[in-house]
Structure 1
Amino acid sequence: MSHSDEEKATYDQDAGADVFVREVPSHDAASSSWVDRMKVKGDWLEQKIGMESQGIERVPDTVEARTDHHPSHNASLWLAANCVLSTFGLGILGPGTFYLGLGDSMLIILFVNIFTAVIPAYLATFGPNLGLRQMTSSRYSWGWHGAKIFALLNCVACIGWSSINTIAGSQALRVVADDKISHAVGVVVIAVITLFIGLFGYKWVHLYERFSWIPTAIAFLALLGCSARHFVNIPMGTGQLEASNALSFAGVIFGFTAGWVSMASDYNVYQPSSTPKWKTFAWTYIGLIIPLVLVMWLGAAVMCAAEFQDSWMEAFESNELGGLLGAAFFPVVGHGGGGFFLFLLVLSVVSNNIINVYSMGLSISVTSTFIAKLPQVIWPVLVTAIYVPIAIVGADSFAVSLENFMAIIGQWLAIFSAVVLEEHFIFRKGSFPSYNAEFTWNDPSALPMGLGALGAFCAGVIGAWAGMSQVWYIGPIGKLVGGDANPYGGDVGFILSGTFAAIVYPITRTLEKKWLKR
């Protein structure tokens, strides 16, 4: 990590931040630009109140900087981020939107998650080994300018995630309040709690996530106890209609699980490079796979039961996710007990949203050196101001918003993952020292031009176009998958986008290295 003569690196232990921060001497502030002066004041404020001021800069591999020596923190963070209402809501889409039975929904959930979770779990190992956030390390495959494109896409994804999560929480909160508060009030309450925690950065995000999954898990277990006697297995379908619906549901699940790819290493950059890679991978994979599978299974089971419980289906149709949960809880534990468990599930939304609020600030800093100079405290406030009105507008359409968002996000993440992984394994032989991250992470001349990745991206877009099946467009292959049995087609865009990109990248990257020598 390089610094100018006017800038030095310090470690703020007294403020209790335990993170790497930058300090600009006050005697240079008068001659600096207004942005530099804002950075100085922002760093001062962040240090005083214990916020993390470390941005996208590489965290040096030193004892003073790498203060997190617990690989197991990867498990608790991802466990909390996925043991949430939105994960449950994804499970209900199998029977509720794609007309699948319980058995086929559970099988799709299991196998798609088993394979997809490998990607963010492996990319998490980049954090300790490179000391770089995920969008910053993507410069080594996508190039200086190409990484900016995906950083912007990740910002959009973070806003989308936050909006959908908040919609789910506000629906549940409204049921808790017996419809005496509006969705808008619920959205604002959740957003304020998220903002308060997300403002403080890495250390406090980890601290909150380490314990927040426990009450949420208890609430889901209570839901299982209240609803299990109503579980019914809807028979598995057959033929082309079943196949197209199964593929579309698989695409939605892929988008949800792969959604962590773009931020997987953001939360372990303070762990030493000596941390065994297998421990980082294993703990991350465990933290992902357990809640993803079990909570989605529960969502699918409750939704199948609703098909045979008129009161549950009426509640779902009137207040979607919150109504369905209330219908399952209230007859068994009463309004008071059900309201308590629902409130715990509302708080689970915060666990997911603080990940998005925190990572968006890092991603947007990759897009511009000017933006990277701005105080980190700005970004949680900005992303909150953006997603709150979006969540208020879409508060009555959780299922539709989730389905459409997951299908689209899965396609660009498939392309992104294919390029990053092939660069790592094919062209860098899986060797982290080959990145020389300490000296090259912020040097455009030492990074690839990104032309090889651009070629793969174009190929991936063609695959997404051909295979997608959305309300607003059905690609030729997506339509072929649906056939006469399903006029809505079957979404295979996530498969084709990643496959096309993976085929093209080794060719275009080889040519790029041959011609440009970088």
Structure 2
Amino acid sequence: MERTASPAANATLIERRSIDYIPDAERHGSLFSQFTLWFGANLQVTAVVVGALAVVLGGDVFWSLIGLLAGQVIGGAVMALHGAQGPQLGLPQMISSRVQFGVYGAVVPLALVCVMYVGFSAGGTVLAGQAIAELLHVDRTVAILLFAALVVLLTGLGYRTIHAMGRVSSIVGTLAFLYLFASLLHGHALGALLAIRHFTLASFLLAVSLSASWQIAYGPYVADYSRYLPKSTSAPKTFFAVFSGTVIGAQVAMTFGVLAAALAGDRFSGHEVAFIVGLGATGAIAAVLYFAIALGKLTITTLNAYGSVMSVAAILTGFGGKREISPRTRIAFVLLTVAASSGLALAGQHSFLKAFSSFLLFLLVFFTPWSAINLVDYYWVTRERFDVPALFEPDGRYGRWNVAGLIVYAIGVLVQMPFVATGFYTGPWVDALGGVDVSWIIGVLVPGILYYVVTELKRSNAPDFMTLPDYSSEGD
């Protein structure tokens, strides 16, 4: 994986920037860190549970693994296309939505992003709390509060620390999963599991949908973690680094989930953390596994918290016409978002969180059309030609509201409704498709094509080349 030199003069532990453009002098990092971040973020217990669902809900091992891999490739490609925008734009992912929806109009997807990632953080906090409680022999409420404090610290430190944690998490996760696979398959022939094949289209599409939706959910913040790379960084290489990390990491975790569900049955479903740690034959190994589970959740929960902070800042600065926030304000946003997710975790650690999780999955319906519109605009309409200063000017080039973009977005949400299958809501056409949720396919294709057609029919307001802010008068 290609490495890029980082200017030592600009290396600081605490991140200085927030939603503003990253000047060339402050760019740093390597493509390898993109791989390790997304590889480590996906080697975690929630991905294991998602993979297990493919078998729990009726699939066999062989076709579940194939379907999950197909979904990883499709969803991972969408996700990595967002990630490749980071070095070129030097901005958090959701700021670029102002091009498609207007400076005020972008608040619509931004607000939904905040809700979803705070909710996902709450779910991760519950699982991490279980692991920390067992590891430190403390009450789960205490464990959740300890975990929240770590998330606040790491999110407050920002970009460099998050990438460093990704490297550690990828190493610990790799070692943990090697041990887990060996323990799980001990005395079982993998070939025998793969030989049992009973293909059904519904089960196969379910596996594809599970992993594709998992990957697409990263879309609203993936560029947040590539925006510091030097502008000269190759877009295809950035795509490959992000894509390979997220696909390999998720597929490894989900493969373990498939095999665990097939071999353990009821001993796994509903008791995921206990089952995984139960594979550790001694107390010391069990402690290491609890640590690995907690670290995996710490990585992804910090990503969620950091992305939420960027979204909250983007909402408030959009109405205020500002292009940055102070370090003190950023810390306040960190405390606000982590407090919200921790409060949900404490309230819902026993029962509420399961119902809330269904609501969060339903929110994914609102992100596939956003993703399609954002990618079509960036790669086929504006072709990377952004007026960055205008992104922070409500009366500038992109205006307050982009009515055409918002209408296409609304259509993209509505056309998915008949195909949605969640515990929160199920569309009327789901039964005809064998109970499989294919809304994400409709949500990518329809608004993507419609947005391209609409923008072709009207005059593009894209500049002739990318316009960047002037930092010449900014202090060192």
TM over 0.5: yes
Number of the residue aligned with 1:499:
445
Number of the residue aligned with 1:109:
68
Q: Is the counterpart of residue 345 in structure 1 residue 293 in structure 2?
A: yes
Q: Which amino acid aligns with 1:93?
A: L
Q: Is the counterpart of residue 358 in structure 1 residue 319 in structure 2?
A: no
Alignment counterpart, residue 465 of structure 1, candidates 395, 413, 417? 417
Alignment partners' CA distance in 2, 1:57 and 1:349: 28
Q: Is the counterpart of residue 260 in structure 1 residue 218 in structure 2?
A: yes
Q: Structure 2 length normalisation: TM-score?
A: 0.86
Number of the residue aligned with 2:404:
452
| Structure 2, gaps ≥5 residues long | 1-6, 464-476
SS in 1 for 2:227: coil
| Structure 1, gaps ≥5 residues long | 1-12, 20-49, 308-312, 483-488
Change (3 A) 1:393 1:237: farther
Contact 1:459 1:504 in 2 (8 A): no
Query: Cα deviation per residue 1:208-239 (whole Å; 9 max; x = unaligned)?
Result: 2222221121111111111113466384445x
Deviation at 1:293, TM superposition (A): 0.9
Q: Is the counterpart of residue 65 in structure 1 residue 26 in structure 2?
A: yes
Contact 2:70 2:208 in 1 (8 A): no
Query: Cα deviation per residue 1:177-235 (whole Å; 9 max; x = unaligned)?
Result: 6xx64432332222222222111011211222222221121111111111113466384
Aligned sequence identity (%): 21
Number of the residue aligned with 1:125:
84
Q: Which amino acid aligns with 1:18?
A: A
Q: Which amino acid aligns with 2:175?
A: I
1:157-306 equivalent positions in 2, closer than 5 A: 157-176=116-135, 181-229=138-186, 230=188, 233=193, 235-238=196-199, 242-306=200-264
Alignment partners' CA distance in 1, 2:223 and 2:330: 18
1:349-428 equivalent positions in 2, closer than 5 A: 349-369=297-317, 370=320, 373=325, 375-396=329-350, 400=354, 404=358, 407-428=361-382
Alignment partners' CA distance in 2, 1:470 and 1:161: 16
Number of the residue aligned with 1:31:
none
Q: Is the counterpart of residue 155 in structure 1 residue 100 in structure 2?
A: no
Change (3 A) 1:517 1:373: closer
Change (3 A) 1:447 1:282: same
Change (3 A) 1:77 1:472: closer
Size of the aligned set, in residue pairs, is 445
Alignment partners' CA distance in 1, 2:230 and 2:336: 31
Change (3 A) 1:321 1:402: farther
SS in 2 for 1:140: helix
1:289-328 equivalent positions in 2, closer than 5 A: 289-307=247-265, 313-314=266-267, 316-317=269-270, 320-328=271-279
Q: Which amino acid aligns with 1:185?
A: V
SS in 2 for 1:469: coil
Change (3 A) 1:110 1:119: same
SS in 1 for 2:103: helix
Change (3 A) 1:450 1:512: farther
Contact 1:56 1:132 in 2 (8 A): yes
Alignment counterpart, residue 442 of structure 1, candidates 392, 398, 423? 392
Mean CA deviation greater in 408-417 or 108-117: 408-417
Change (3 A) 1:446 1:424: same
1:67-146 equivalent positions in 2, closer than 5 A: 68-96=28-56, 98-146=57-105
Q: Which amino acid aligns with 2:295?
A: L
SS in 2 for 1:272: coil
Query: Cα deviation per residue 1:422-477 (whole Å; 9 max; x = unaligned)?
Result: 1123322xx32x2132x323223211642222122121122221111223432122
Change (3 A) 1:344 1:197: same
Q: Which amino acid aligns with 2:62?
A: G
Alignment partners' CA distance in 2, 1:148 and 1:464: 21
Q: Which amino acid aligns with 1:440?
A: A
Deviation at 1:175, TM superposition (A): 4.7
Deviation at 1:56, TM superposition (A): 0.8
Q: Which amino acid aligns with 2:130?
A: Q
Alignment partners' CA distance in 2, 1:335 and 1:399: 30
Number of the residue aligned with 1:44:
none
SS in 2 for 1:72: helix
Contact 2:55 2:262 in 1 (8 A): yes
SS in 2 for 1:165: helix
Deviation at 1:508, TM superposition (A): 3.0
Alignment partners' CA distance in 2, 1:149 and 1:498: 18
Contact 2:121 2:301 in 1 (8 A): yes
Deviation at 1:479, TM superposition (A): 2.6
Deviation at 1:315, TM superposition (A): 6.4
SS in 2 for 1:188: helix
Q: Which amino acid aligns with 1:364?
A: V
Change (3 A) 1:172 1:102: farther
Q: Which amino acid aligns with 2:125?
A: T
Q: Which amino acid aligns with 2:26?
A: A
Alignment partners' CA distance in 2, 1:165 and 1:366: 24
Q: Which amino acid aligns with 1:143?
A: G
Indicate the structure (1 or 2) with the bigger Cα radius of gyration: 1
Deviation at 1:350, TM superposition (A): 0.8
Contact 1:321 1:398 in 2 (8 A): no
Number of the residue aligned with 2:3:
none
Q: Which runs of 4+ in 1 moved over 6 A?
A: none
Q: Is the counterpart of residue 56 in structure 1 residue 19 in structure 2?
A: yes
Number of the residue aligned with 2:282:
334
Deviation at 1:279, TM superposition (A): 1.8
Aligned-residue Cα RMSD (Å) equals: 2.7
Higher relative contact order (CA 8 A, sep 6+): 2
Change (3 A) 1:336 1:65: closer
Alignment partners' CA distance in 2, 1:328 and 1:210: 25
Q: Structure 1 length normalisation: TM-score?
A: 0.79
SS in 2 for 1:53: coil
Contact 2:75 2:214 in 1 (8 A): no
Q: Is the counterpart of residue 18 in structure 1 residue 11 in structure 2?
A: yes
Q: Which amino acid aligns with 1:52?
A: E
Deviation at 1:69, TM superposition (A): 4.3
Alignment partners' CA distance in 2, 1:389 and 1:200: 22
Q: Which amino acid aligns with 1:390?
A: L
Deviation at 1:517, TM superposition (A): 9.5
